[in-house]
Chain A
């Protein structure tokens, strides 16, 4: 076990940069304060979202109390946390276990593959705790204060919070191990990794939608059962993530119910982990090292000699590198496919299509009067989905050690940034285009409106992408050991997402004010387009003007 702890310690130090932080604490305090400042600014941005989440949880607690089920707030929070960990866990597990650069180094060490797997799994688990804490603490405090809970409740809550990410991560690891087993046998490994992961993620959404959307056959009896027993509603909501039910009962039950559910939670989590650990002991290393092998096609390949302009060359280079690096492709392209899928849910059925609000939205969309604001709302929703795309906000960080090439080539930095921005906008365009086409069918909007939505959502994303690019240009994370650090452990991606959210909110307010002018659809579209184009131009100019100085500051 000494070897295992030594490996774990090394990975924690390398991933979180504790050693270099200690060095900078001594030698460059200014850099440390700068990092702390940026961290606080991001927390401030996240704080707004936490406040909103806490408010929603409080409303849920109050609503639940009137139905004599205040504990529903714990169930819901645990379900949301479990699903979030599951969703992000797939990326984290794939990145850490299979796509990391240290695979070769670790494979050469005299440590069993099971222990390597365990250390990596624990690293991912550790990384899931911030989001688990952010999602679980507000409802735990709301319920605890509301019910005057004692110290035992809070101690059990800590234990439950520790246990929550375990089951979803174990399932993610199980699916990843299976996927990599398939990948290790195939020739086109990168492509299968990317496509397979996206299919898994879509399958997860589809499964949850199906589970949550299935109502009991006799709804009258079900409503009576909810009124008679406070656990019926909890068990109904917890179908998507059964540990949520056990956690609720551990925290809100009494005596034997608490103990029994605690035993369930711990035993089943440990058993699930045990099975995956055993499986990993046999198949992990083969899947991981398969990623190191690159298939060379024997014989002569036809070489293409094509000339492009500087902007297009940079753009092409950016896109080729991104789509051929699984970890970059997964993070940057996932929303291009997941967003249109989420928008097809009303067609497929399930929980979303039963939603009364959505039914109301259908009827509004059907009525011609609602047309003018419709394009703004749909464009805004699509743009919001495309925010979850770190392609632009990590573009310089991803260059890492290759940044010497961009600094040395005779292409002005202000031209290079245009190439990178174009690449990001093309990815956004793919997502907006697919989403808008899906919306045209699932929400039954007209072809003309669809075209307007495609144009408007894409133009709205230009200034947002430019802002993301600006953030990464100002402070790129060029020093990393694993490509996942450039994209997953990069403040710039989070900061760009928060700023993007703020920008879309502002565009939303502007759009709302324009609708008050009683313009027709075309006029509203044209006016909004002009505003967005002006903002885009201003931000592109800002990025271009800052590029040369920012390049000079990047020391390699």
Chain B
């Protein structure tokens, strides 16, 4: 589903290598957790996967579509939730959702049904008619999440999606991730919470200083370290901040 091949990215005119020749394959039907300390290169990698940042070297394909050569089809096959919650604050929730449905070509006959389903699921029905500016941090996160669920993309990419969500919404999102994968789709996400990664993910990748230092199932990782994910993470990242 997601194929990352030898990608690199350099900032500040070649002085800082944020991502250094990394490769990853994420299969259909799996939930993949992406961990790493602050400044390890997680967000840069995610921005390259989603076509927000150009790739210096290497290539990325999503469901067989190259993100640079066939960007539109690649983007149609994914839905992205960023960590920032930057969204058009002057729009109403429903206007933002209609915008997302339009640009992702959600057919008119299923649009209302899907919007209503997810608004109900995340208890956002009443707020949808209000300006996003009036939303709390968590509500902004929810409206962005709903926006990417509308076109039911084969690949979800989420940068710390659980941050700011209340326990109920967090639980619902995790459920939705499972259901999505059970239909043969894929979830690629980064998280702060190592317990969540441990319980939710089929496979985990750890990045540090721009390089992938470990990839595998929890069992694979335990084979080499015989420990909890927290200890594995700390030992692999040489005690860097516990952060995804």
Report A's interface with B, CB cutoff 8 A: 27-28, 30, 294-297, 299-310, 313-314, 316-317, 320-321, 324-325, 400-402, 404-405, 407-412, 552-553, 555-556
Contact = CB atoms under 8 A, between A and B. Distances in A.
Contact of A308 (B50, B80, B102): B102
Contacts of A305: 94, 98, 101, 108, 111-112, 115
A30 B103 contact: no
A58 to B, nearest CB: 48
Interface string B45-80: 001001111100000000000000001110110001
Given A301-B128, A407-B51, A321 B88 contact: yes
B126 A320 contact: no
B103 A404 contact: no
6 contacts: A296-B134, A303-B94, A304-B98, A305-B98, A313-B99, A401-B84
B53 A408 contact: no
Contact of B129 (A28, A300, A306, A314): A300
A295 B13 CA distance: 46
Contact of B90 (A306, A316, A325, A412): A325
B144 to A, nearest CB: 9
B87 A408 contact: no
A556 B94 contact: no
Interface string B121-148: 0000111111101100000000000000
Q: Which of A27, A306, A314, A404 has the most CB of B within 10 A?
A: A404
Interface in B17-63: 47, 50-54
A307 B91 contact: no
Contact of B130 (A296, A325, A405): A296
B104 interface: yes
B12 interface: yes
Nearest to A302: B129
A556 B53 contact: yes
B76 to A, nearest CB: 4
A110 B243 CA distance: 33
Contacts of A310: 102-103
B202 interface: no
Nearest to A317: B99
B86 interface: yes
A556 B9 CA distance: 13
B88 A405 contact: yes
Contacts of A314: 103
A320 B125 CA distance: 21
Contact of A307 (B73, B80, B108, B130): B108
Given A296-B134, A300-B126, A401-B86, A408 B91 contact: no
Contact of A411 (B47, B80, B86, B103): B103
A314 B91 CA distance: 13
B198 interface: no
Q: Which of A295, A307, A401 has the most CB of B within 10 A?
A: A307
Interface string B107-125: 0100110010000000001
Interface of B: 12-13, 15, 47, 50-54, 71-73, 75-76, 80, 82, 84, 86-88, 90-91, 94-95, 98-105, 108, 111-112, 115, 125-131, 133-134
A296 B139 CA distance: 14
A412 B51 CA distance: 12
Q: Across chains A and B, which 5 residue pairs bring their CB atoms closest together, nearest first?
A: A301-B129, A410-B75, A294-B134, A324-B90, A313-B102
Nearest to A329: B90
Contacts of B76: 410
Nearest to A321: B90
Nearest to B151: A410
A530 to B, nearest CB: 35
A194 to B, nearest CB: 12
A24 to B, nearest CB: 10
A462 B61 CA distance: 38
Contacts of A555: 53-54
A324 B53 CA distance: 30
Contacts of A407: 50-52
Given A27-B15, A296-B127, A324-B90, 20 more contacts: A28-B13, A295-B134, A301-B126, A303-B128, A304-B98, A305-B108, A305-B111, A308-B102, A310-B102, A402-B87, A402-B88, A404-B52, A404-B82, A405-B88, A408-B75, A408-B80, A410-B76, A411-B72, A411-B103, A555-B54
Contacts of A301: 126, 128-130
A307 B88 contact: no
B241 to A, nearest CB: 23
Contacts of A302: 129
Nearest to B103: A409
A321 B91 contact: yes
Contacts of B112: 305
B132 to A, nearest CB: 9
Contacts of B90: 320-321, 324-325
A133 to B, nearest CB: 36
Contact of B103 (A299, A313, A556): A313
Nearest to B94: A303
Contacts of A552: 54
A547 to B, nearest CB: 12
Nearest to A322: B90
Contacts of A317: 88, 91, 95, 99
A28 B103 CA distance: 37
Contacts of A307: 98, 101-102, 108, 111
Contacts of B86: 400-402, 404
Nearest to A325: B90
Given A321-B91, A552-B54, A404 B101 contact: no
